[in-house]
Structure 1
Amino acid sequence: MVSTQEIALDRTQRIGEGRSAEVFVDKSGQILKLYKAKWGKSLAEKEFVATSFAHSQGLRVPAPLGIIERHGRSGVLFEHIDGKTVLEHFRRNPVGMLGALRQLAHIQFGIHTIVNAPLPNQQDALRVQVSRARVPAWLKQTTLAVLDRLPDGDNLCHGDLHPENALYTPDGLVVIDWEKSTAGHPTADVARTELILRSGRTRFVNAWAKAADARIRARLADFYVWTYCRLSGIDRRDIDAWRLPVIVARLSGQAAPNEDDLQAEARRLGNHFAHLI
Structure 2
Amino acid sequence: MVHGLGNKIGEGGCAEVFEWEDGSKIIKLAKPNTIPAAIQAELHHCRIAWACGLPVPRPYDLVNVEGRSGVVFERIYGEPIIKRFVDRAVEQSRLQQPIDIMDDYVDAEITAQLFHQIHSHSVADMPSQRENIRNDIHRAQYLTEAEKAAVIAELDRLPIRQQLCHGDPNPGNILLRNDDAVIIDWNNASTGNPEADLAEYVIMIRYAILPPHLPNEASVALDATRETSIRLFMEKYEKLSGISYADIEPWIAPVAARKLVADGISEEEKVLLIKEIRRRLRIR
TM-score, length-normalised on structure 1?
0.89
> What are the within-5 Å matches in structure 2 for residues 29-178 of structure 1?
29=23, 30-93=25-88, 95-134=102-141, 135-178=143-186
Kindly report the root-mean-square deviation, in angstroms, between the aligned alpha carbons of the 2 structures. 2.1
Q: Does 1:259 align with 2:259?
A: no
- Structure 1 position 27, deviation (Å): 4.2
Structure 2: unaligned runs, 5 residues or longer: 89-99
The one of 191, 200, 209 aligned to 1:183? 191
Q: Tell me by how many angstroms 1:71 deviates.
A: 3.4
1:154-204 deviations in Å (ceiling 9; x for gaps): 10000111211011111401110111110001111111111112222337x
SS at match of 1:208: helix
Residue 26 (structure 1) aligned with residue 34 (structure 2): no
2:214 is the counterpart of 1:220: no
Return closer, same or farther for 1:201/1:18 CA change in 2, 3 Å cut-off: farther
> Structure 1: how far apart are the matches of 2:244 and 2:126?
26
Give the conservation status (yes or no) of the 8 Å contact 1:15–1:25: yes
In 2, Cα distance between the equivalents of 1:219 and 1:35?
Answer: 37
Q: Which moved more, 1:34-43 or 1:240-249?
A: 34-43
Normalization by structure 2: what TM-score? 0.87
Query: Match for 2:114: what amino acid?
Result: I
Following superposition, the deviation at residue 260 of structure 1 comes to 1.5
Give the deviation of 1:15 after TM superposition. Answer: 0.8
Unaligned residue ranges in structure 1 (runs of 5+): 1-6
* Cα distance in 2 between the residues matched to 1:171 and 1:212: 24
Counterpart in the other structure of 1:197: 205
CA distance in 1, matches of 2:262, 2:154: 20
Larger CA deviation: 36-45 vs 228-237: 36-45
Structure number with the higher helix fraction is 2
Q: Is the Cα contact below 8 Å between 1:166 and 1:176 reproduced in 2?
A: yes
* Partner Cα separation in structure 2 for residue 199 and residue 86 of structure 1: 17
| CA separation of 1:246 and 1:182: change in aligned 2, threshold 3 A | same
Q: Is the 8 A contact 2:86 2:218 kept in 1?
A: no
For the pair 1:272 / 2:280, whether they are aligned, the reply is no
Identical-pair percentage: 31
Instruction: Tell me if the contact between 2:14 and 2:34 (Cα under 8 Å) persists in the aligned partners.
Output: no
Change (3 A) 1:91 1:147: same
Write the letter of the residue equivalent to 1:214. Answer: D
CA contact (8 A) 2:5 2:18 kept: no
Q: CA deviation at 1:136?
A: 1.2
The 3 A distance-change label for structure 1 pair 27 and 71 is: closer
**Greater shift in the superposed pair: 168-177 or 69-78:** 69-78
